[in-house]
C-alpha cells in the first residue's frame, strides 16, 4: 500500500511540475507577444505623427 502511495505521489509531483512548467511557458509567450505587439504599435503611432 505504501509503495502504491509513494508512486502515486511521485507521479503527481511529476505531473504538477509539468503543469507548472507549461503554464510558465504559456505566460512567457503571452508576455512576449504583448511586448512585440506594443513595440509595433508604438512604431506605427510614431510613424503616423
Q: What is the pLDDT of residue 32?
A: 97
* pLDDT per residue as tens digits for the range 1-43: 688 999 999 999 999 999 999 999 999 999 999 999 999 988 8
Using the structure block, give the residue that is written with the C-alpha cell 512576449: 32
Domains of the chain: total = 1
Q: How far apart are CA 3 and CA 30, in angstroms?
A: 40
Dihedral of the alpha carbons of 14, 18, 20, 25, in degrees to the nearest 10: 160
Q: What is the pLDDT of residue 7?
A: 92
* Residues spanned by the domain of 26: 1-48
The pTM for the full model equals 0.59
Q: What is the pLDDT of residue 48?
A: 65
Sign of the dihedral defined by the CA atoms of residues 31, 36, 39, 44, in that order: negative
Nearest to 35 by CA among 27, 24, 23, 20: 27
Amino acid at each position: 500500500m505504501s509503495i502504491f502511495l509513494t508512486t502515486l505521489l511521485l507521479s503527481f509531483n511529476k505531473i504538477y511540475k509539468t503543469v507548472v512548467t507549461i503554464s510558465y511557458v504559456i505566460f512567457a509567450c503571452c508576455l512576449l507577444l504583448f511586448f512585440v505587439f506594443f513595440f509595433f504599435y508604438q512604431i506605427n503611432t510614431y510613424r503616423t505623427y
